[in-house]
Amino acid sequence: MVEEKYEERGLSISDLFFLVKKNLLMIIIVTFIFILCGSIYGFGIRKTTYSADATAIVMAENSSTTTSGYQDYLYSNYLINTFKDFIVSDSVIELVKDELKEYGLTKEQIVDSITVGVTTNSLIVRITAKAGSTTLAVKLVNTVLDKAMEAANVMENGEYKYNVLANKLVDMEYAYEATGSRGATTVLVISVLLGLIVSLGIVLIKYLIDDTFTSKDEFERMFKINVLALLQNIQGNGGSKE
């Protein structure tokens, strides 16, 4: 009967508003529980994450050809995207891991902590490191920047191993402090959304599994008959109940 009811009637916008209004108290309670849990986690349990930034400029000169300044600029944009991947490559991360071995960081942890960003129409590469302490965040981002330049300038048999990248990372700005955040606002917003989604989901499930008729019109549409009169609910002792 549930499937027949759903196919016959469907769920209109007015029905949805009616269901929300009818179950408003339950929706508020469920959402409040999620908000409370999110607040406890975001403002109490969740640890503070510290973030530090370092930047470098990719050299615009293409020494392999005698080209115009605009072509040098295009070449530099190509190098920026190359450096974006190179900075988090094994060649760099292995050096960072060895340098920071006292922290016991794995390669995966370092890669997950590092974000490399580039800005359109800019020659600046921005490296961001996140860690559980100010000291580690600053140390990590500066070490990544140092080791990226070191790896780019590695020489083998008297020649640069990565000739296209060698001496192209210049004018570096190191991080000296880090900012901390629990991300509590984000957690709170997610909690509100989850609370609304879960509570509305409960309302819809209750609607779908409800196999009773909620009105005379619904009964008439289902069985194609006219209802002449309605009786009140009958109690077991023979009395009536509204």
- Domain 49-180 = CATH 1.10.357: no
CB 60 within 8 A of CB 76: yes
What is the mean pLDDT of the segment spanning 235-239? 53
CA atoms within 13 A on the CB side of 234: 5
Q: pLDDT tens for residues 109-156?
A: 999 999 998 876 778 889 999 998 899 999 999 999 999 999 999 888
What is the mean pLDDT of the segment spanning 93-114? 92
Q: Which amino acid is at 105?
A: L
Whether the pLDDT of residue 13 is over 70: the answer is: yes
CB atoms within 10 A of CB 69: 9
What's the pLDDT score for residue 241? 44
Mean pLDDT, the chain, rounded, equals: 80
User: CA-CA distance, 3 to 56, in Å (whole number)?
Assistant: 63
What is the mean pLDDT of the segment spanning 59-81? 65
Q: pLDDT tens for residues 159-205?
A: 888 888 888 888 889 988 888 887 788 888 999 999 999 998 888 88
User: CA-CA distance, 77 to 59, in Å (whole number)?
Assistant: 10
Domain extents in the chain: 2-45+185-212, 49-180
